[in-house]
Amino acid sequence: MLQRLRHAEIMRRVRVSGATSVRDLASQLGVSPSTIRRDLEVLDRDGTLRRVRGGALPCADADADRPFAEVAGTDEQDKEAVATRAARLVADGDVVLLDIGTTTMRLARRLRGRRVTVVTSSLAVLDVLRADPEVELLLLGGMVRRPYHSLVGVLTEAALGQVVADRVFLGASGVRPDGQLVDTTLAEVPLKRAMMAAAGQVVLLVDRHKFPGTGALRVCGPEDVDVIVTNDGADEATLRACAAAGAEVLLA
């Protein structure tokens, strides 16, 4: 892989996953750790990421500047497959919580015309379902985080305390090799935990590129997840760790 293409792929992975290790990047890109270290040094000097011991972090404003549409356009086929498989878990009459993210937005499209109740903090889900007369749509309140198309804060958490859902469809930045769910956005982690507490079943929607994944913030352990929907080709060792903890794995 040419250096410029490798640098672009490193930046994409760091932006999507947040804290990313040299070992993971070397494995994912098929190059040596020493090559990745040199790449990270160059990108750090350029100011496009922040080099840390053992890996890299996005610059403080990198995610804020990245358009939602750009994230939605990455790994589209895998996300579509995950969303299509997840929609089969929803029955008419269900109350479902939809987390933020581009895969849950795609799931919302597959719930159009269904007699279901959707509760969400995602403005992207709102845009998908706002005109649908069949779906009962409940939007949680809170502060608008425009880059993420989401609502966050104490008002959102308080509203979730009034919700009783059949299941939550949760997103995450990645799943570590031991099955731990991680995320990169501090404001979203308590909301994910509150959504899990409000639902009878926790369904994790993560495409194969997030197995294994990275992130600086722990959301929960694999024992807290009931079902994982991902793609064929996800890291098998990570999936085995999740299954050993009790999660049902569904491949799209």
N- to C-terminal Cα separation, the chain: 29
98 shares a domain with 215 = yes
101 shares a domain with 59 = no
Res 75 pLDDT > 90: no
Confidence of residue 67 (pLDDT cuts 50, 70, 90): low
Res 83 pLDDT > 90: yes
Q: What gap in Å lies between CA 218 and CA 43, rounded to an integer?
A: 27
Res 200 pLDDT > 60: yes
Closest CA to 104 of 152, 171, 174, 157: 171
HSE-CB at 80 with a 13 A cutoff on CA atoms is 5
Instruction: Say whether 70 sits in a helix, a strand or coil.
Output: helix
CATH number for 82: 3.40.50.10470
Q: Which H or E run contains 168?
A: strand 165-170
166 shares a domain with 147 = yes
Domain of residue 56, residue span: 3-64
What is the overall mean pLDDT for the chain? Answer: 89
Closest CA to 121 of 170, 63, 87: 170
Identity of the amino acid at 10: I
CATH number for 26: 1.10.10.10
93 shares a domain with 54 = no
Confidence of residue 57 (pLDDT cuts 50, 70, 90): confident
Which tokens belong to 20? 């990313």
Contact between 194 and 120 (Cβ < 8 Å): no
CA distances from residue 102 to 4, 64, 80, 112, 215 in whole angstroms, order as listed: 27, 16, 10, 16, 17
Identify the residue whose tokens are 């080709």: 233
168 shares a domain with 44 = no
110 shares a domain with 54 = no
Tens digit of pLDDT for each residue in 3-55? 878 887 888 777 666 678 999 899 989 999 999 999 998 887 766 678 888 89
Alpha helix stretches (DSSP H) within 130-188 = 154-160
Tens digit of pLDDT for each residue in 134-165? 999 999 999 998 878 899 998 999 999 999 99
% of the chain beyond a pLDDT of 90? 64
114 shares a domain with 238 = yes
